[in-house]
């Protein structure tokens, strides 16, 4: 009986010491808050556009987190979509943009994605562009 009580006491003391050390280790260290990327819109519809016309849109975003936001990569769904973005870190509460251009050579409906990867809590965000490319009239009118 004495051995059981002694063994139980040793186990309790060991666990309480381990948990106290783990808790104490975190209390002396600052936990860095992650950045947060917030887009004004994540989808843009160009509507109907003429073949060969300039088709681009600026996706505005803000760092709503507590530390610098870094966009690590921007992946396009095809070669007809060209994203451009700043490689510099974005301070908290600051605004920037991702410029997305679509090559409107092909006729028809399109829906393309651009995946933004960053060091934010929401580390992957998908942006969508869509529309319809039509053949431009020979006389220059849209009618």
Q: pTM surpassing 0.75? A: no
- What CATH number corresponds to the domain at position 90? 2.60.40.10
What's the domain range around 16? Answer: 1-31
Q: Is residue 139 part of a domain?
A: no
Instruction: Summarize pLDDT for 82-120 with one digit per residue, the tens.
Output: 999 999 999 999 999 999 999 999 999 999 999 999 999
How many domains, in total, are found in the chain? 2
Compute the distance between CA of residue 98 and CA of residue 102 in angstroms, rounded to an integer: 13
Between the alpha carbon of residue 70 and those of residues 39, 52, 82, 123, the distances in Å are 14, 34, 19, 10
Residue pointed to by tokens 């760092």: 63
Shared domain check, 125 and 103: yes
């Amino acid at each position: 009986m004495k051995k059981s009580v002694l063994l139980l006491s040793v186990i309790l003391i060991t666990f309480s010491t381990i948990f106290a050390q783990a808790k104490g280790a975190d209390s002396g260290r600052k936990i860095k808050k992650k950045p947060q990327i917030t887009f004004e819109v994540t989808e843009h519809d160009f509507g109907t556009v003429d073949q060969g016309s300039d088709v681009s849109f600026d996706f505005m975003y803000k760092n709503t987190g507590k530390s610098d936001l870094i966009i690590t990569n921007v992946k396009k769904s095809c070669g007809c979509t060209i994203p451009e973005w700043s490689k510099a870190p974005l301070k908290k509460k600051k605004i920037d943009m991702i410029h997305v251009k679509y090559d409107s050579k092909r006729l028809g409906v399109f829906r393309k994605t651009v995946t933004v990867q960053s060091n934010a809590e929401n580390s992957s965000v998908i942006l969508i562009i869509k529309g319809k490319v039509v053949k431009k009239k020979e006389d220059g009118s849209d009618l």
